[in-house]
Structure 1
Amino acid sequence: MDRLASFGNDPFDKPPCRGCSSYLVEPYIKCAECGPSPFLLCLQCFTRGYEYKKHQSDHKYEIMTSDFPVLEPGWTAQEEMALLEAVMDCGFGNWQDVAYQMRTKTKEECESHYMKNFINNPLFSSTLLSLRQLEGIRAADTAIPFKPTDDPPRPTFDSMLSRDMAGYMPARADFMEEFDNYAEWDLKDIDFVDDDSDILHALKIAVVDIYHSRLKERQRRKKIIRDHGLINLRKFQALERHYPKEVQDLYEAMRRFARVMGPLEHDKFIESHALEFELRREIRRLQEYRKAGIRSFCSAKVYERVKRAREDERRKRTMLSDVLQVIHDGRACRQWLHKQAAIDAGVSPVVTTFTSSGRRSAPPLNLTGLPGTEKLNEREKELCQVVRLVPGAYLEYKQALLNECQRQGGLRLAQARALIKIDVNKTRKIYDFLIKEGYINKA
């Protein structure tokens, strides 16, 4: 027996019974063999063995009902759909009217169930916009973080904020220097007199029209400043910082299109891309769970905890390898300790190692976790650490030099430098190493 959702709460929304033409009331019967249009019968016609055309009384059937719990006991699927329809009709937060429309639950039960299963549910906790934010966006006239009652900022003439706002003065709704600031100069000598010829009169009218177009452009630029929230730039920037880094980059790239879109349309455009980014990240997370064989969120929590522990262990192994590399050098060991102290204090460490001759030299490269490390032998690993070359790049350079040596029967250093476009000293060390190990031979 399959328990499927009903067509709706209103009995008149359901199709009639094919036997007696009465409106169906759950539970009712659906023929599993007749189709493609559903063949539905009430229980009375089904018990009488009603047959019609191709439908026979011995066909397989399904019992259609929504009287079963979905999210928690005490709430049937029919009541879940009725709750969602009531919230859509009455509005979020209007629980008294929602309970009145449902008729089977109280105001407190409707609010508690909706908040628990549709707002605070862990399945939906990672979505970008909550329902309250959506209602606020729908109710607001504009999407800018500035209200007419707010005191507008008054940046000084030479401040950084004034330069960021292109010299706009919100308290005066004007720019320090207007767009096309000398447009009025073309009008200062124009004087309409009665004895002007028709051509001269038309030219003067054209100059006035040009001046009007410049005034419209000034007003358009001021309107963009007001409509898109640039009146209070710091609030606008604080709002942007709530987005992930990728969405902030998108916001910066799409800022130029705000001049051809309204503020609501532009914000909805950015919000949709932010939601798409969030959904893609959630999909990648779920795909990672499925790839690891996880099929429940309880197992996912354990997986995340074990994953963090594994990453901590990897960092500890990396730190141990760093210590082993510098433990024999007192100066390098002290520098490493200063570096860790700076990291613990939340300061970006600036560590420079010095050789005995006083020249600066970078510490050996840590190969832990780098792709291609397992393909290297011990001598090649030592070379990559000293030269500070990632294993993947070294393998590519090695293969290119081997191919060129086999093609020409030998290889010179100048040919190797022309083939590998990196630092000449690194090329020399790689070339000498491959010659010493017998991988290639000199021409």
Structure 2
Amino acid sequence: MERLASFGNDPFDKPPCRGCSSYLTEPYIKCAECGPSPFLLCLQCFTRGFEYKKHESDHRYEIMTSDFPVLEPGWTAQEEMSLLEAVMDCGFGNWQDVAYQMRTKTKEECESHYMKNFINNPLFSSTLLSLRKTKDSRFAEGAIPFKPTDDPPRPSFDSVLSRDMAGYMPARADFMEEFDNYAEWDLKDIDFVDDDSDILRALKLSVLHTHSSLLLLPVLERCYPKEVQELYDVMRRFARVIGPIEHDKFIESHALEFELRREIRRLQEYRKAGIKSFCSAKVYERVKRMREDERRKRTMLCDVLQYIQDDSKLPASTGRRSAPPLNLTGLPGTEKLNEREKELCQVVRLVPGAYLEYKQALLNECRRQGGLRLAQARALIKIDVNKTRKIYDFLIKEGHITKA
């Protein structure tokens, strides 16, 4: 048997067991003769002597585990990887959080081990020095070092440097990161093999369909109330600064605050009405809706009756705006009108020449018949009936014509 290390302490980083399709936990078995893809088995399937196609139970095998020291006794390889991942997640110096994430070491042990083996270790110091020299030589070959006060480098579109710096934002001196940068995380370990059961194959296909739907379907914005939607639109510009997850949490917290305030106002209304139980509140809401419907119908009926009784208010119901008075400056025939006739032409919006013709026609008809009715005037001049009525009433008032 050969004892090898697998530097991935996350079971999701390894392919599943070929026997039972469960996630592998260390230690597990790797067949040394089957290949090129690794044939991995959990201990339970290995003890049962699982065989499949070319794999037989008497093949040579390797025990995959990381339960052995690397840098010093008492620290296994798995704990070394856990320490590096915890420092990367929590940040250098946050030893309390690092120890909480590791679960197996105290913060003093984490700090002393990291400082001793990864900071003050001469082996790692020389490695960092070589990396720094390599970085300086890369700058000398054509990269563009710049200070924060300098104008950031903006390579040309078709240059080699632009391809190497794909996704780089010069103004922010940082690389662009996707909103869900680990969207394909659940797909990287999916492997379709011939011995998959129907249920396992259907499960893998469902994961692929879910991922495809996330890529193809448009992202629908949440339906917030009006007040929260206004805040959402205003704060949209800051989403790139604080990050999408923090921005969603901020908006969701304000939406929750709005709902709580509305619920408090509703409960205050119940208490003001003397309601102390939710059963009574349901009856109150039902009666309140009926009362509002009756008030709305009663208001609508009163408006209809008011317009029926007062005919002068009917034109106002159409919602049309009254036209501004007509400007008579420079129109022919204006000098033949007196002040009252000018005011009539301005209000009725009738040019002076047409008014004089209508006036003369009504005067002639009134002399011929000895009087004139409104219906006769409307039949005589073919214009708007409201304008004809105003002209007829004006001429009666001025004494130019008489009623029949």
Instruction: Choose 1 or 2 for highest CA Rg.
Output: 2
Q: Same fold (TM over 0.5)?
A: no
- TM-score relative to the length of structure 2: 0.33
